[in-house]
Amino acid sequence: MLQPVELYSALGKADQNNFFQELQKIYDSLPQTTCAGCATCCNWGSPPAFFIEYLNMYKYLRDNLKDKWTEFLEKSTEYYYLELVDPKQKCPFLNSDNKCSIYPVRPFTCRSFGLLSKEDFETGDRGLQQLAKKYWEDYGIKIADELVNSELPWCDKVVSDRGSYIPKVDLAGLAVQIAKLDYTFFPQELVDQEGTLLSYPAHLMNTVLGTGARARKIKVMKEFSDFGTKNLLSTFIEKARTFQF
Ligand code: SF4
Ligand code: SF4
C-alpha cells in the first residue's frame, strides 16, 4: 500500500519546481490523435498513473469541477474497493456521454493508448490469474472470471497526426521521464518498481480515506463476492463524500 504523503505540501513542491509544466511538455511530445470515441478502453478500467499525474489531476478537480466532487468521490470509492470483483466497474471519470470528464489531465497511459503498432502492443499477462488464485486461497474471494480472462484489445481506430506508430522504446522513454518526477516524493527504488503507479481512484483513496478504511478492502470485496451486497462499502462511500478538496 503506497503511503500517503501530505498532499498540500506535495502540490506546493510540484508548483515551486515547475513539475506540472514539465509533465505537460512530456504529454505535448506525444502526437495529436483522434479516435472513434467508443470508450471501450475507458470501460475496461482506470489505468495506472504516476503520482505527479495524480497531483495534476487533483488540482484540476479541485479548481474546475467542484460540482462533480461528490460524484467522483462516490464512483472512485466504489471502483477502488470493487474493481476486482465487480466486472461492471469502469473508469469513474467516464461520463454518461462516453467522454472523459478529466480529458486535459488524463494520464499518460490513456494518452498513449493506440499509439503502438499491433506487434508492439502487448497487454501481456496482467498477473490476474495469479492474483485470483491468491485471493481465493487466502481470503475465499472469487475474482470474476470475466476479469481474469479478459484483455484490453489493441485499438486500430486511433489516427495520429504523425501518420505512424511510435516505437515502444520511445514511449517507454517518455514514461521514465514522468517517473523521474516522482523521485521527489518517494524513494527512487519504489518508483522504479512501479510502486507509485496506481489508478487515479486508488491515488484518490490514499488522500481521502484513512489507512484503517483502506485496510478493510478485503472485507468489502468479500461481502460483495459472497452476497453481492455493499453494506460496508456504503459506510466508506459516506465518509468519502464529505471530503473537501
Ligand atoms: S482509443 Fe480506441 S478503444 Fe479507446 S475510445 Fe478511442 S476508439 Fe475506442
Ligand atoms: S481517465 Fe479519461 S481517458 Fe482515461 S480511462 Fe478514464 S475516462 Fe478514459
Of the pLDDT bands very low, low, confident and very high (cuts 50, 70, 90), residue 124 is: low
Q: Which atom of ligand 2 is nearest to the CA of 46?
A: 5
How far away, in angstroms, is 137 Cα from ligand 2 center? 33
Query: Does the structure show a pLDDT above 70 at 123?
Result: no
Instruction: Check if the beta carbon of residue 181 is closer than 8 Å to that of residue 22.
Output: yes
Residue 159, ligand 1, Cβ within 6 A: no
Tell me, what's the pLDDT at 151? 82
Q: What is the pLDDT of residues 36-52, one digit of tens each?
A: 999 999 999 999 999 99
Chain Cα centroid distance, residue 175: 15
Tell me, what's the pLDDT at 2? 64
| Closest CA to ligand 1's atom 8 | 38
Q: Which atom of ligand 1 is nearest to the CA of 155?
A: 2
Identify the helix (H) or strand (E) that includes residue 198: strand 198-199
Name all residues whose Cβ lies below 6 A of ligand 2.
Answer: 42, 46-47, 91, 93-94, 100, 102, 106, 110
CA-angle at 90, arms to 87 and 94, nearest 5°: 160
ipTM score assigned to the predicted complex: 0.99
Which three-class secondary structure state does DSSP give residue 34? strand
Tell me, what's the pLDDT at 190? 96
Q: Which atom of ligand 1 is nearest to the CA of 36?
A: 7
- The grid coordinates of residue 211 equal 489507512
How far away, in angstroms, is 170 Cα from ligand 1 center? 21
Rounded CA-CA distance 214/212 in Å is 5
Residue 36, ligand 1, Cβ within 6 A: yes
Query: Does the structure show a pLDDT above 70 at 126?
Result: no
Rounded CA-CA distance 140/171 in Å is 39
Q: What is the pLDDT of residues 179-207, one digit of tens each?
A: 999 999 999 999 999 999 999 999 999 99
Instruction: Check if the beta carbon of residue 124 is closer than 8 Å to that of residue 168.
Output: no
Residue 79, ligand 1, Cβ within 6 A: no
| Across 229-239, average pLDDT | 97
Tell me, what's the pLDDT at 170? 95
Query: Does the structure show a pLDDT above 80 at 122?
Result: no
- The grid coordinates of residue 83 equal 474493481
Which three-class secondary structure state does DSSP give residue 55? helix
Query: Does the structure show a pLDDT above 90 at 12?
Result: yes
Amino acid at 147: L
Q: In sequence order, what are the residues at sequence separation of 6 or more whose Cβ sits closer than 8 angstroms to the Cβ of residue 61?
A: 68, 69, 72, 102, 245
Q: What is the pLDDT of residues 69-83, one digit of tens each?
A: 999 999 999 999 999
Which three-class secondary structure state does DSSP give residue 180? helix
- Partnered with residue 214 across adjacent β-strands are none
Tell me, what's the pLDDT at 1? 60
Q: What is the pLDDT of residues 150-167, one digit of tens each?
A: 888 899 999 999 888 999
Of the pLDDT bands very low, low, confident and very high (cuts 50, 70, 90), residue 3 is: low
Ligand nearest to the CA of 204: 2
| Across 82-110, average pLDDT | 96
In the block, cell 478500467 appears at 45
| Closest CA to ligand 1's atom 7 | 36
The best mutation among 102, 198, 203 to test binding of ligand 2, ranked by most ligand atoms within 8 Å of the C-beta, falls on 102
Instruction: Check if the beta carbon of residue 214 is closer than 8 Å to that of residue 77.
Output: no
| Closest CA to ligand 1's atom 4 | 41
